[in-house]
Amino acid sequence: MKPIFMTYTKKDLINLAVCMVLSVLIIPTFIKTEYWYTSILIPWLCLALATIGQQIVMGYTGQLALGAAGFMAAGAFAMFNLILRVPDLGFVGSLIVSGLIAAAFGILFGLPSLKVRGIYLMVATLASQFFIIWMIDKFGWFKNYDSSGIITAQDIVILGKPFTTPLAMYFVCLAVTTILTLLAMNMARGSTGRNWMAVRDMDIAAESMGVSLLRTKVQAFAISAFYCGVAGALFAFCYLKSLEPVAFDIKLSFKILFMCILGGLGTINGAFIGAAFILLFPVLLNAIGNNVFHGAIDATIISSIEQVIFGLLMIIFMIYEPLGMAKLWENLKQSIRSKLSSSGIKGIKSPVLKK
């Protein structure tokens, strides 16, 4: 399919239109309970954005990195300090600069990827996770010498208008996530993404074609950290509404890693699917616990079951469908399409090789 606008095909534009109608018109009209915005939609958008960051470095460039939450913390605390100390920047300006600060950390902690790979790189990138959190804890300046340990996030003000209701914050997250997702798609489908994937699939050959491993890997880490940083700032300001380093612990990094893998490595839509699954699955389990078993199962057991199922799913996906849920979704569409085409509907290309 030929792209119509930028790198987007007709199908992409239709999907985008459907998503926009759904998220801008239908959801705000029909969902009135705050719970949905504050506990589901806002964290979903923030975490999906962070997962796109993880996708760029892991799914596209093939660098096993673990420490997305560290970059999120960098972004969140950068945001807090920028709004506090450089109020002239405004919310959007601060958000971009926070992303850039996180990207600087990304470059720093991406450098080991030149020497180590695989599981060893994963251990090396864990340093970012612990270093950033330690730094924020250690130096009071980052928390504006607040002794309580939890700082309340400033209100979001864009062009003089406050965005404090859950719905308004949802729109802020939606706008930022949509723009950054579209930009990520452009990169992934353009020459930038090809360089990433070339490094992922066969680095020696990529280098022999003139792709610089240093530049490509460091660039991927920087862009990834930028996405995580922006996501972290939104996560703190729209979802948590407070800033504490503990919120960005290693568990969050793992969560983002799971979202990335379950969603499907090397896919952008997989980030959204994976994030939705990991967020909604516990909600679903709780609902089952409450409604089917009427609270007979203890909440702690339910959360243990949740961990067990995530673990199982990770193993199953790694073995049977490394491309994750995004691929399952594609397969489903493909099988529906081939059923339709066998019943005589034209215009559907067969995926079978001719030669």
Task: Provide the binding-site residues for another protein, judged by CB under 8 A.
Answer: 6-7, 183-184, 186-187, 190-192, 194-195, 197-198, 200-202, 204-213, 219, 223, 266, 353-355
Contacts of 116 (CB under 8 A, 6+ apart): 124
CB of 182 to another protein, least distance (A): 9
Closer residue to another protein in complex, CB, 67/193: 193
CB of 223 to another protein, least distance (A): 7
* CA atoms of 194 and 186, how far apart (whole Å): 11
CB of 290 to another protein, least distance (A): 43
CB of 265 to another protein, least distance (A): 10
Q: Label each residue of 89-117 as H, E or C.
A: HHHHHHHHHHHHHHHHHHHHHHHHHHCCC
The shares of helix, strand and coil residues in the chain, as percent rounded to the nearest 5, are 75, 5, 20
Closer residue to another protein in complex, CB, 29/208: 208
* CA atoms of 283 and 56, how far apart (whole Å): 28
- Start-to-end CA distance of the chain, whole Å, equals 21
* CA atoms of 45 and 178, how far apart (whole Å): 9
CB of 311 to another protein, least distance (A): 26
Q: Label each residue of 219-232 as H, E or C.
A: HHHHHHHHHHHHHH
CB of 165 to another protein, least distance (A): 31
Closer residue to another protein in complex, CB, 198/256: 198
Closer residue to another protein in complex, CB, 295/347: 347
Closer residue to another protein in complex, CB, 115/355: 355
Closer residue to another protein in complex, CB, 197/314: 197
Phi then psi dihedrals of residue 108, to 5 deg: -60, -50
